[in-house]
Structure 1
Amino acid sequence: MAVINGKVAAQPLEPETVEQARERVARERREAEAFAARYGLEFVDLTRFRIENDLFRRIPFELMLRYGFIPEEQLDGRISVVMADPSDVLKIDEMEMLLGQPIEAKVGVRSAIEEILQKSESAQRVLDEASEDFRIQLVQEDEEGEEVLSIDRISADTSPIIKLVDSTMFNAIQRRASDIHIETRDTEVIIKYRIDGVLYQAMEPIDKRHHQTIISRLKVMSELDIAEKRIPQDGRFKLRLKGRTIDFRVSIMPSVHGEDCVIRILDKESMSEEFKNLRLDILGFDEETLRKLRKFIREPYGMVLVTGPTG
């Protein structure tokens, strides 16, 4: 304990370790589950929560931040929201008045709600701003030959096309997308994300006149031939986000209306962390299927095929 001018100086807080963070998250979850059980409310696991963009855009972000809730789903005549403390009746009444409809409140972990609000607001805000000019961030390479991607860099970039492409990738990573699809149509360009095997439209359609500039930007990033438009091309590039390196595999294919593009996102470091403790018995198989699977795996010959949609 340090004493300065006769006063006890405040000690700097020690940074939270990974183990401490896990214990804190587990404790917060137990408290939230107990709270939900006490009030007879549904507990929502927010670890893989995905916000509906249309619903998110309809509600002022300041309102979500002030009352600490996430809109979950628009139901028939009411809206489902996730909150840390739905027991405050006055707060619920105010929210219902401001939203103009009854609320079905559910319980979530406070820190998870705050994190989702921060990520969703910042990422979607930048994406919306980037798309306004088009009805729509690779940056300079560093000394290691990798690109550094962040909200600050995207916001600071003055090129609309660069801002669009990079913010699209940033938002895809935030939403845990496995692929980005850029589809060319007769009068417009559609950008979609593949999340959990399902394609979702990422933003409003972009005017067709910006199509070639977007594709050219991706070709430059992937070191492909920007002049070649008649044959398929495959390339790759890397970005660094929050200290981890993410690989992007780019496939460009000519189509009737122009060149289409599919970008596969390979976040290997994140997957390694998520799957570190992955075991067969936590994948949701019933006992009989699990028994058969273990039996087949132990066979000295043959193979076990794992099939399904990519992403």
Structure 2
Amino acid sequence: MKELDALTITVVAEDSVGYETPYLGQHGISLFLNAVRGETRVNILMDVGQNPKALLTNMELLNISPGSIDMIVLTHCHYDHTQGLVEIIKATGKRNLPVVAHPDLFRVHVITDPFLRYIGVPGEDQNKVVEEAGGVLCLVSDPLELLPGLMTSGEIQMLTDYEEVGMALKTIRNGNVSEDSVVDDLSLFAVVRDRGLVVMTGCGHRGIVNIVQQGVRNTGVRKIASIIGGFHLIESSDEKIEKTAAGLKALDIDSVKAGHCTGFKAQVELYHAFNDNFSPMHAGDIYRF
């Protein structure tokens, strides 16, 4: 896989904020990527959280103009990654803005524990409204190169024996109810010159070890500079958390930056595994590769 010359990742939405910082927190995640290859600079917004006011406030504090966004990538359908999409598209002032996601993004998606609730893309951010606002939906299940050195993961293969979705999720198609394994869950893989592979996740519903291993397979790069994002271990058993940390530790990973849905217990376990090479994520954090 070709390489980026540099990659800067700014956390513009997160559940946590740093000590004595002015940023706003929310239940959700959004990363602003500035990818550089030669004379080409591309700005990508990965997910939009669920509170566009907080997101836009943080972007202003970080001197990031919505008009600088070249494309949006949505990692999966959940409202805490997609709510306010239309408002963000409008804030860019652009027409024909690529919005990259899986073809199943706009399906009916519900959780049945403790009772039936819809947790998918909100109605005001559905596909027709996105297109009317100026977005162009690029819905793909295969890996997609966003620029040389940066790609989407495609559908994540679930190969480990300890990573499962683990939520009471259902979808409804043609009147039939079925289990929903969040097949639309995608990540971003970047290869940065002299640094290695950078893996960026939204929630990692299909397993963070599965995701990182797929990143290695897709790119052919074994040296992993960092894994960044939500790992969805917040309601996982101690056994799964321990196996996940061990699975990551067995890989050649320089740093782990986890937040959003990772959960405190998992963050502690990851800290024990990676020591000072682990850090929790906060809104306003900036990572440079």
- TM-score normalised by L of structure 1: 0.26
Which structure: greater helix fraction?
1
Q: Normalising to structure 2: TM-score of the pair?
A: 0.27
> Which structure has more strand as a fraction of its residues?
2
Structure possessing the higher radius of gyration over alpha carbons: 1
